[in-house]
Amino acid sequence: MPSIVSLQEKYMKEALKQAKKAAALGEVPIGCVIVYQGKIIGRGYNRRNTDKNTLCHAEITAIRRASKVIKDWRLEGCTLYVTLEPCQMCAGAIIQARIPEVVMGCMNPKAGCGGSILNLLQMPEFNHQAIVHRGVLAEECSELLKNFFIDLRKRNKDEKERSKAENGKEISSENNCMSGESS
């Protein structure tokens, strides 16, 4: 029987595959899978920009699909794997869906609500708390994000330089025009 750690890594790799789909669309690479009785029943990746919809986070999509498969809004007995610590919306949805166990890749100190800013997943005041595992394949998960932002900055810089060069061309051709008229 595989150890818990190797199982967690196995499913986190599946979540990473989803995250790479987001990256291919130019989206921040975050991916999620939901596992029930050893089977993946929901997958999702960030499509916020593509769908122009703030609800299209990886976890929400995976929860929607998993609920469809088990025909219940309650995802009892499921484990959710996500490459980045969930935001307040997704952590809220995880608790609403009664998901008992959450496995995360890297943490999100600026927006995470699975222990960074808040720990919505484990508040004793709510009627449900999840068991939380942090840092599974954290390096791979954060590397993917880091590389995405490096590429994005480079693309933005190239874009700026290109538009600067094009504006420069327009100005110089306008000048040519004006000097042509005056002569």
Decide whether 8 or 108 has the Cβ nearer to Zn ion.
108
Decide whether 15 or 87 has the Cβ nearer to Zn ion.
87
Nearest distance in Å: CB 160, Zn ion: 30
CA 117 – CA 82 distance, rounded (Å): 17
Q: Is 59 a catalytic residue?
A: yes
Of the residues 9, 14, 27, 59, which is catalytic?
Answer: 59
Nearest distance in Å: CB 51, Zn ion: 14
CA 58 – CA 42 distance, rounded (Å): 10
**CB burial readout 139-161, b (16+ within 10 A) else e:** ebbbebbeebeeeeeeeeeeeee
**Interacting residues with Zn ion (CB under 5 A):** 57, 87, 89-90
Q: Which two tokens stand for residue 149?
A: 């932002």
Decide whether 41 or 59 has the Cβ nearer to Zn ion.
59
Nearest distance in Å: CB 29, Zn ion: 13
**Active-site residue list:** 59
